[in-house]
């Protein structure tokens, strides 16, 4: 084994050891991001629809918000996103923001039809359900949604 190969191995081993010691302060690695996101005041839920097909915000998109009630989802409200692809006010905030499981349904086919997009019939995506849970309503939850007529992804943003 050459001297350079031994040096690389020592370097890699030192890096792994340093990374392990940095994580030693976390009681559970999976909980570290949630602990950092904790807010001292009342939390809130917001969304942002981003139409990556047009490169613009998902403006004017119809969205339904429901809560899991027993074994099925119960509609709480329907709304259209504003010109920035968001809502004018948080979906939930303060005392109205409760622990539980929720669903957003984005009316994607309707959105692209309104934009005049030439779509197959039936469209590949019609209504897109996004299901998520709120564990700690004192935190800030922001759901960023990226979509095209053929795909979507979402993540908890900041």
Total Cβ atoms within 10 A of residue 16: 10
How do residues 16-34 score in pLDDT, each as one tens digit?
A: 444 444 444 444 444 444 4
Is residue 39 in some structural domain? no
Query: Is 90 exceeded by the pLDDT of residue 3?
Result: no
Between 36 and 134, the more confident residue is 134
- Burial per residue of 133-156, b for 16 or more beta-carbon CB atoms within 10 angstroms, e otherwise: ebeebebbbebbbbbbbeebebee
How do residues 34-76 score in pLDDT, each as one tens digit?
A: 444 445 568 999 999 999 999 999 999 999 999 999 999 999 9
Is 106 in the same domain as 74? yes
Is 87 in the same domain as 13? no
Domain of 109?
A: 44-157
Of 152, 40, 71, which Cα lies nearest the Cα of 107? 152
What's the pLDDT at 16? 44
Of 58, 47, 64, 153, which Cα lies nearest the Cα of 114? 58
Between 3 and 116, the more confident residue is 116
pTM of the model: 0.73
Structural domain count of the chain = 2
Is 76 in the same domain as 123? yes
């Amino acid at each position: 084994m050459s001297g350079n190969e031994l040096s690389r191995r020592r370097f890699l081993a030192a890096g792994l050891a340093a990374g392990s010691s940095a994580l030693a302060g976390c009681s559970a690695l999976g909980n570290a991001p949630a602990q950092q996101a904790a807010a001292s005041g009342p939390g809130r839920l917001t969304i942002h629809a981003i139409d990556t097909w047009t490169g613009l915000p998902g403006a004017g998109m119809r969205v339904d918000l429901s809560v899991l009630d027993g074994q099925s989802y119960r509609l709480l409200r329907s709304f259209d996103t504003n010109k920035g692809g968001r809502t004018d006010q948080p979906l939930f905030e303060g005392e109205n923001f409760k622990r539980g499981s929720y669903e957003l349904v984005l009316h994607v086919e309707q959105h692209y039809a309104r934009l005049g997009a030439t779509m197959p019939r039936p469209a590949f995506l019609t209504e897109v359900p996004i299901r998520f849970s709120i564990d700690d309503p004192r935190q800030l939850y922001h759901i960023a949604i990226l979509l095209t007529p053929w795909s979507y992804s979402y993540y908890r943003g900041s």
